[in-house]
Amino acid sequence: MGIALIMGAIPGFFIATWFVMILWGNISPQLGIDTISYWTSTLVTIAIWLGVAPLLASSFKKAVSKS
């Protein structure tokens, strides 16, 4: 279960990074800030995933323990 989930998340990571870069490029002119590169978008995505992954894991464990 573990390695398959990790391997399945890899394409999602790169797609999420691309979406962050595209959305930032659309929003930044309205806020008056510069656009970001793909590498900066990668760092933003890693930060988001590090914050969200533990929350998802804990909610999944709670859902499994209730059933």
**pLDDT tens-digit map of 7-40:** 888 888 899 999 999 999 999 999 999 999 999 9
| The predicted structure's pLDDT at residue 65 | 74
Question: Given pLDDT bands bounded at 50, 70 and 90, which one contains residue 54?
Answer: confident
| The predicted structure's pLDDT at residue 28 | 93
pTM of the complete model: 0.67
Instruction: Give how many domains the chain has, as a whole number.
Output: 1
| The predicted structure's pLDDT at residue 67 | 63
Residue 67 lies in a domain: no
Residues contacting 13, CB < 8 A, separation 6+: 45, 49
Residue 11 lies in a domain: yes
Q: Maximum Cα–Cα distance for the chain, whole Å?
A: 49
**Residue 26 is part of which domain span?**
2-62
